[in-house]
Amino acid sequence: MRYFIDTEFAEKPGCIDLISIALVDENGREFYAEVLDFDETLANDWVKARVLPNLWRNLCPEDRLQNWGACAGGGLLPLAEIGPAVQQFIGEDIPEFWG
């Protein structure tokens, strides 16, 4: 099964901190998660200006429902829970990721 993937992240020397991950499978099923414990102060100016204002957690409740109401799983999760949530979304499939 093909999964189309998009991520947002903050870079710092020697490390990349995940901010969010979105997956859509070839049947149209969607998954979206944001890292609940992401430290926004680590983001560079470009990410602060273009990414952070559009995060699910920064949208008003009406926009959240409109934009992400149909997504399976995910939401605001601690970083340690995002991997297992992605695995649950994929299930027994052998994934082929497309970026």
Q: Give me the phi and psi of 47, to 5 degrees please.
A: -65, -40
Please say whether the beta carbons of 9 and 17 come within 8 A.
yes
Distance, CA of 19 to chain centre: 7
pTM: 0.81
Helix-then-strand count for the chain, H and E: 3, 5
Beta bridge partners of 18: 9
CATH T-level assignment (fold) for domain 2-98: Nucleotidyltransferase; domain 5 (3.30.420)
Per-residue pLDDT of the chain (99 residues; tens, 9 = 90+): 999 999 999 987 888 899 999 999 999 999 999 998 888 888 889 999 999 988 877 765 555 555 555 455 678 889 999 999 999 999 998 999 999
Q: What pLDDT score was predicted for residue 54? A: 83
Domain boundaries, the chain: 2-98
